Amino acid sequence: MIRKDIKLDKEAKLVVEKLVKLRKEGKIRSIDELGHIEGRVEFKKIRNYFKQKKIEKVVWKKDIKLRKCTLRHYRGKPNSPDIVLPVMLYFHGGGWVVGDLDTHDAICRKLVSNAQFDVISVDYSLAPENPFPRAVEDCIETLKWLSVNHKKLKITTEKILLCGDSAGGNLSAVLSIYNRDILKKNIVYQILIYPATVFLSNFPSKRKYDGIILSANLMKWFENNYLLGKNPEKFKNDWRLSPAYARNLKGLPKTLIILAECDPLFDEGNYFAELLKKNRNDIESIICKGQIHGFLTMGGVIKEANIIIEQIREKANSVLS
């Protein structure tokens, strides 16, 4: 039951009501009641009810096997396969446990449609088989690999944009900090979509919007799997888990943070935006009124998902041109 003081977007409300109905009918199960393998299957099944139905055609979609993870390289129409383009690295959401290249394929296809850049989607290793900090290490390895191998992909690394949703937004923020300090590659911009920025946080939005897509039990399930065998209390202040707790947040790339208003992660995303401003970074925020966590993957029902993807594409075109 949605609280009366919570005003959901009409289409977001349809999604929430549909999920309740599907659970009552026994057609879907709560992911946090399953093992991680079953949870991944259920996540895809649930997302299939709401995903974008129109699949954009692309010039190419190539999977590239690295040592520890797989990349998927997209080039959109009407770009020629012969020209050299800048790149957006995309990191999918799913609590570091579920989600993959396929769950976010429609988003990446839409991003490169009529874009002046390519998208490389990163299939980082998932927990609990590969617990923290393996996903972070895979993202670092991807950036290193790209800096060496970009020419054969027909891309330039003179300007790199990072983009990710939820856990992928977390990884984007962590990679930006690591890059500033260690790698020093040309990351000129980051787009963080309803990012997780404070591990084990207790912000008011987590209580107010508990159970709307994300529940306290589901977030605990993600956290326990990602930190398998580690004490959460010991690691929660590690900036690789909680980028908001990094000692130095100065000198980071220009940032766009996109938040869903009715999202348990809203407050920590907003908190991170305020920290970036306080540290004199160039930061822009978009708050999607009445929206829910994960709405970007629900473009088959929620029209605003497609509008936001178009805005991300326009921003990336501007930044990378």
Q: In this structure, what is the dihedral angle of CA atoms 239, 243, 248, 252, given to the nearest 10 degrees? A: 140
Average of per-residue pLDDT across 121-148: 98
Q: Where are the domains of the chain?
A: 63-320
Give the model confidence (pLDDT) of 155-209 as tens digits: 999 999 999 999 999 999 999 999 999 999 999 999 999 999 999 999 999 999 9
Q: With a cut of 90, say whether residue 9 has pLDDT above it.
A: yes
Task: State how far the Cα of 251 lies from the Cα of 276, in Å rounded to an integer.
Answer: 9
Give the model confidence (pLDDT) of 295-305 as tens digits: 999 999 999 99
The model's pTM is 0.97
DSSP secondary structure, 161-180, as one string:
EEEEETHHHHHHHHHHHHII
Q: Which residues are catalytic?
A: 166, 263, 293
Average of per-residue pLDDT across 309-317: 99
Q: With a cut of 90, say whether residue 16 has pLDDT above it.
A: yes
| CATH code that applies to domain 63-320 | 3.40.50.1820
Average of per-residue pLDDT across 198-222: 96
36 phi and psi angles, rounded to 5 deg: -65, -35
**CA dist 223 to 75, 99, 231, 246, Å?**
34, 15, 11, 19
